[in-house]
């Protein structure tokens, strides 16, 4: 069952169905961000003390995605993390990815002329995983329409064929159960479903994924970052943090609070609740049930929905709506009534 205390800790903005664009902060997250800005303005920011806060972020993200805190690397964006993976592959490596996946998942591979990239429909992805493929990269939930890949089948196929794996959970962490250690890399932009300020990305790096090079090697990638400010000795950690870039000091306390708030919620309860709301709207629209908290419909402009009080986003020629723990049945009713008025054709 959804933890009502946690859901009540977030603001409820009627008709806000756009977590897939950015998540709403819990009240405690907003307060933490305001405190950080206040401390900064008074020259009270203490970068040394914030190391412990970064560790809290690692702990909470690991809980959310089913990893260990020592697996977790800190970055600024998904594309930065994916770029390190792309740069770590050998010349001529074959990468398997999905047509119309989010650009930050595929562009780092497509932009590297050393790599051979094959794009396939999402429905064909698992069947295309075979010996000869070096890495498969995919979003667990598609940004454009919320379709969810079968992660269990993908992990089994990749393990059987000896294929490396990168999973982007930017559109699924927080509501979709993830077993991060089934994969080499599980990365998320934390400003969506993880409700952090924008500028934080986190990745769970499997301990055996030592093939990933710290292409953006940073002083913060050391086990003793403040003792690694100057060369020439290279003192990178052997843990996931070897891929760290330095933290955005003004954001990390809010990030830790946001992640800890979500880590306290049972992920299976979140999955049931969020997909349940989305399926309630699908039923109202005559659409089949799905396993996603995200749905998209044709025949309406996202701005027209906004004018009627429903905040959605325009993606790939559709209006995309997403349900999270701070949404409720009233949001379903509002969206259904609004969509009915526009006489939508839907998919």
Average pLDDT over residues 1-16: 90
Lowest-confidence region among 3-12, 232-241, 268-277, 316-325? 3-12
Return the bridge partners of 31, or none. none
Please determine, for residue 344, whether its predicted confidence score (pLDDT) is greater than 80: no
Please determine, for residue 150, whether its predicted confidence score (pLDDT) is greater than 90: yes
User: In this structure, are residues 65 and 178 in contact, taking their beta carbons and an 8 Å threshold?
Assistant: yes
SS3 at position 165: strand
pLDDT recorded at residue 343 = 47
What is the C-alpha R_g of the chain?
Answer: 20
- The burial of 299, by beta-carbon neighbours within 10 Å (0-12 exposed, 13-18 middle, 19 or more buried), is given as middle
pLDDT recorded at residue 346 = 40
CATH architecture assignment, domain 4-26+265-341: Alpha-Beta Complex (3.90)
At 300, the pLDDT band (50, 70, 90 cuts) reads confident
Rounded to two decimals, the pTM is 0.96
User: What is the Cα–Cα distance from 264 to 59, expressed in whole angstroms?
Assistant: 12
User: What is the Cα–Cα distance from 295 to 278, expressed in whole angstroms?
Assistant: 7
At 317, the pLDDT band (50, 70, 90 cuts) reads confident
pLDDT recorded at residue 33 = 98
pLDDT recorded at residue 167 = 99
User: What is the Cα–Cα distance from 15 to 335, expressed in whole angstroms?
Assistant: 7
Average pLDDT over residues 149-159: 98
User: In this structure, are residues 14 and 305 in contact, taking their beta carbons and an 8 Å threshold?
Assistant: no
Q: Where in the chain is the domain with CATH 3.90.1150.10?
A: 4-26+265-341
pLDDT recorded at residue 318 = 87
User: What is the Cα–Cα distance from 99 to 97, expressed in whole angstroms?
Assistant: 7
Pairing of strands 135-139, 164-168: parallel
Lowest-confidence region among 5-9, 23-27, 204-208, 228-232? 5-9
The rounded percent of the chain whose pLDDT value lies above 70 is: 99
At 215, the pLDDT band (50, 70, 90 cuts) reads very high
User: In this structure, are residues 137 and 96 in contact, taking their beta carbons and an 8 Å threshold?
Assistant: yes
Residues in the chain, how many? 347
The closest of 85, 135, 95 to 118, measured between CA atoms, is 95
The rounded percent of the chain whose pLDDT value lies above 90 is: 90
pLDDT tens by residue, 80-119: 999 999 999 999 999 999 999 999 999 999 999 999 999 9
At 345, the pLDDT band (50, 70, 90 cuts) reads very low
Residue 70 CB neighbour total at 10 angstroms: 15
Prior bond of 232 cis (ω within 30°): yes
pLDDT recorded at residue 347 = 40
User: What is the Cα–Cα distance from 317 to 277, expressed in whole angstroms?
Assistant: 23
Q: Where in the chain is the domain with CATH 3.40.640.10?
A: 32-263
Average pLDDT over residues 265-276: 97
CATH 3.40.50.300 fits 32-263, yes or no: no
Mean pLDDT of the chain: 95
Q: How far from chain centre, in Å, is Cα 278?
A: 19
pLDDT tens by residue, 122-142: 999 999 999 999 999 999 999
Residue 118 CB neighbour total at 10 angstroms: 11
């Amino acid at each position: 069952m959804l933890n009502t205390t946690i859901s009540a800790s977030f603001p409820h903005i009627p008709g806000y169905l756009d977590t897939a664009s950015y998540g709403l902060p819990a009240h405690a997250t907003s307060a933490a961000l305001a405190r950080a800005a206040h401390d900064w303005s008074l020259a009270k920011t203490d970068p040394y003390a914030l190391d412990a806060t970064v560790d809290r972020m690692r702990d909470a993200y690991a809980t959310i995605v089913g990893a260990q805190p020592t697996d977790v690397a800190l970055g600024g964006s998904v594309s930065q993390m994916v770029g390190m993976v792309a740069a770590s592959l050998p010349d001529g490596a074959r990468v398997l990815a999905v047509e119309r996946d989010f650009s930050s998942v595929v562009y780092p591979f497509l932009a590297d002329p050393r790599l051979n990239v094959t794009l396939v429909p999402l429905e064909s992805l698992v069947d295309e995983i075979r010996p000869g493929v070096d890495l498969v990269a995919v979003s667990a939930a598609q940004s454009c329409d919320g379709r969810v890949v079968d992660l269990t089948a993908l992990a089994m196929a990749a393990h059987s064929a000896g294929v490396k794996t990168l999973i982007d959970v930017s559109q699924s962490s927080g509501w979709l159960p993830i077993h991060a250690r089934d994969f080499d890399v599980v990365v998320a932009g934390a400003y969506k479903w993880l409700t952090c300020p924008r500028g934080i990305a986190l990745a769970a790096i499997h301990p055996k994924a030592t093939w990933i090079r710290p292409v953006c090697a940073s002083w913060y990638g050391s086990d003793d970052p403040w003792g690694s400010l100057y060369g020439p000795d290279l003192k990178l950690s052997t843990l996931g943090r070897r891929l760290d870039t330095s933290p955005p000091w003004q954001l990390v306390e809010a990030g830790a609070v946001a992640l800890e708030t979500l880590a306290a919620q049972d992920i299976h309860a979140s999955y049931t609740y969020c997909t349940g709301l989305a399926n309630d709207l699908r039923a109202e629209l005559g659409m089949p049930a799905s396993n996603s908290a995200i749905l998209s419909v044709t025949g309406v402009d996202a701005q027209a929905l906004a004018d009627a009080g429903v905040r959605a986003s325009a993606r790939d020629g559709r209006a995309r709506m997403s349900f999270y723990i701070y949404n409720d049945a009233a949001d379903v009713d509002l969206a259904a009534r609004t969509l009915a008025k526009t006489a939508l054709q839907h998919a």
